[in-house]
Every structure is written in C-alpha cells, then in structure tokens.
Amino acid sequence: MSTLTIRDALNQALKEELARDESVFLMGEEVAEYDGAYKVTRGLLHEFGPKRVIDTPITELGFAGLGVGAAMAGLRPVVEFMTFNFSILATDQIINSAAKMLYMSGGQFKIPIVFRGPGGSAFQVSSQHSQALESWYAYFPGLKVVMPSTPADAKGLLKSAIRDDDPVVFIEQERMYGHKGEVPDDPDFTIPLGLADVKREGKDVTIVARSLMVPLALKAAEQLEQQGVSCEVIDPRTIRPLDIGTIVESVKKTNRVVIAEESHPICGVGAEISAEIMERAFDYLDAPVKRVSGADVPMPYAKNLENLAIPDVERIVAAVREVAYLD
C-alpha cells in the first residue's frame, strides 16, 4: 500500500496500462507537453513518447470521433476531456458513434475507448465550467459510466475501464484530485465495473452517495453517529450499469434512504435510484426516499451562492434526520 492522491492514482493507472498494452494511447488537450491541465498525465509523454501520448488541437468533436474510429480499427484510446464540460461538443460522437456502433453493426464493431476527465463542480468557475453530466451519459445503452471517489477506486476502476471492451465515460471530480488515500501497489490491482462499495456500514439510514458526495456523506455519518443515528454509506462507483442490488439490500436493512448528489435533481441519477428503490423495496420503506441534490440553477460564481448550490454535510445530516423522523 502507498498513500496517493486521486491525481497520482489515476496517473499510475494510466502509466501501468500504457506499459501493459501497446494498443492503448492517450490523447487530449494539453495531455503531453503541458503534462496535463490537472497534472493527471504528468510524465507520461516523457515515458511513452509522442506516439502514445498526443496533444490535440482544441477540437473536441474531432478528436472524440477520431478516437472512436481508432477503436473501430483495433486500438484502445483513452481520450481526455480537459473537463467534461467540453465533452458537450463531442456528444454526437460519444452517443451516436461510440455507444451505438456495436449494436447497429450487428455486433461487428466493439468500441474499447475511455472518455475521461474531471467533471462536477469546480472552485468558482461559474456556469459553463461547473456541472455534473453523468445522467446524460448514463441515459444511453452502450455506454458505461464510472465515477470514483477514492484514490484506490480511481486507480482500480480506471484500469478496468481501459481493459474493458466497451466505451466507458469516466468522470473524475475536479475538487477531489488532491484527496489522499491508501492504494494497493500491485500492478494488477483492478476493481470490477458495476460493483457498488459499502463505504461505511450502519443500520438506521442508508446514504447513497457518489463522487464528491462520498466524503461529505461519511462526515455526515460521523456527526450522526454522535447523535445516535447509524448510517450506511453506499457508493455505487459505476452509474451504468448500476449495482442496484447492493443499494436495495441496504435499504431492506435500514428501511430509510437519502440520496446525495451534486447534480441537478431533474431527470438525475438520484431520481433513477429512487425509482428503482420504489420498484424493488417499496414495502421495506419506513419513510419516503429523500434526495439531496445540487440547486436547480446554473452554477453561480459568487462564493456564497456557489456554496448554496452544492450539497454540504449539514444538508445531508438534516435529510437523514428527516427520514428518521427525528425533527
């Protein structure tokens, strides 16, 4: 075990997979000579050279499509979006090409590609640079969507994503690159896609949290423990396919659930999880499912407004107390 930041854990995963498989290459804006806008790709150009680590022009639709085409011809591209905000320009290629190619070719063309980069809220960069897009991508059959919340998960899941034969949208959290944690040293350490992780066991209330909400949920659980409420924190890690079984099992035990997410509430992943719980565990619920979501507004710039737009520990605590009928 080593203690690494999420940034360095991702870097290690990329390094190991580039070394392991010649057909893996990395492309994106500033990934090579600049060493990565967020330094996730630091040192990779130096180690693997310009054939494998490629700076692109600012042309998201173009290089996303180029990546999908390269995957059709047998390569395993890792395409970095400097931030997922810019992936919006590339959605035609991610959705219409990558997600559907295998199906509409009758199973002939698999697309082993990873689209990765930071997403979710960042620090005071306002509306266009601070948003959560996972529900967009999770909507489409053909894509897999992953959102890690710890350095070990980041490394193990990214390695699995690169080895996977399907297109994977891998959303890192911009605020979390510096978070530290224990990471196994074994170069063959991977975490399977589609497997939720119980981040904390408990018996009174289930908190389903992903990405940035996981550390906040854990802090909330600590505070609630002091107040005599035992929380189970579940991190789905993979949004599509969603390990709903693990969530439902927990709900059957606790009978109460809070879903914490930084995305907008409308048509979000939390709404989907809530519907699944309703369909599979309605009779076990002792309170309505409660969502704690990002504000239903474009992200504001001013620090105080930005704080109000993103769920915090206090709001999660309040939601748990509400479903536990404590207030």
Partner 1 sequence: MSKQTAAPPSAAKAEEQQSSTGVMDAPPDVDSKKLKQERDEAKERQKDRLSGLSREQAIELYRQMLLIRRFEEKSAEAYVAGKIGGFCHLYIGQEAVGVGSISAIRKDDYVLASYREHGLALAKGMTARSIMAELFGKATGCSKGKGGSMHMFDKELGFLGGHAIVGGQIALATGTAFATKYQGTDQVTLCYFGEAAVNQGAFHESLNMAQLWKLPCIYICENNQYGMGTSLARAMSLRDISKKACAYEMASEFVDGMDVLAVREATLRAVERARKEYLPTLLEIRTYRFMGHSMSDPGNYRTRAEIEKYQERDPIKLFTATLLEEKVADEKTLEEIDRKVREEVEDSLRFADESPLPDPKELYTDVYASPIEPGRK
> Which of 42, 43, 69, 139 forms a contact with partner 1 (CB under 8 A)?
69
Tokens of 309: 């737009």
For 22-44, b where at least 16 C-beta lie within 10 A, e where not — what string?
Answer: eebbbbbbbbbeebbbbebbbeb
Give residue 49's region: left, alpha or beta (phi > 0; psi -120 to 50): left
Q: Kindly state whether residue 142 participates in binding partner 1, applying the rule CB under 8 A.
A: yes
CA distance 81 to 285: 40
Instruction: Tell me which residues in 159-198 interact with partner 1 (CB under 8 A).
Output: 164-166, 192-196
Among 11, 12, 41, 56, binds partner 1 (CB under 8 A): 56
Q: What is the DSSP string of 206-254?
A: EEEE-TTHHHHHHHHHHHHHHTT--EEEEE--EEETT-HHHHHHHHHHH
For residue 107, give both structure tokens.
Answer: 């199973």
Binding mask of the shown chain, residues 270 to 299, with x at each position contacting partner 1 by CB under 8 A? ------------------------------
Number of residues that bind partner 1 (CB under 8 A): 54
Question: Which of 70, 94, 257, 320 touches partner 1 (CB under 8 A)?
Answer: 70
DSSP 120: B
- Per CB under 8 A, the list member of 28, 36, 112, 156 interacting with partner 1 is 112
Give the per-residue contact string, 246-275, with partner 1 (x = CB under 8 A; - = no). x-----------------------------
Judged by beta carbon, residue 9 or residue 146, the one nearer partner 1 is 146
Contact 28, 117 (CB under 8 A): yes
Q: Active-site residue 179, yes or no?
A: no
Instruction: Give whichever of 73 and 266 is closer to partner 1, judged by the CB atom.
Output: 73
| Residue 61 binding partner 1, by CB under 8 A | yes
Q: Are 179 and 154 in contact (CB under 8 A)?
A: no
Q: Which residues pair with 77 in a beta bridge?
A: 25
Q: Which is nearer to partner 1, 61 or 125 (CB)?
A: 61
Separation between Cα atoms, residue 208 and residue 233, nearest integer Å: 6
* Catalytic residue (one of 16, 129, 272, 306): 129
Q: Please pick, from the candidates 51, 185, 226, 283, the single residue that binds partner 1 as defined by CB under 8 A.
A: 51
Distance CA 110, CA 57 (A): 26
Query: Known catalytic residue: 129?
Result: yes
Q: Which is nearer to partner 1, 9 or 234 (CB)?
A: 234
The active-site residue, picked from 17, 29, 60, 80, is 60
The catalytic residue positions are: 60, 129
Contacts with partner 1 by CB under 8 A lie at 25, 51, 56-57, 59, 61-75, 92-93, 96-97, 101-112, 141-142, 144, 164-166, 192-196, 238, 241-246
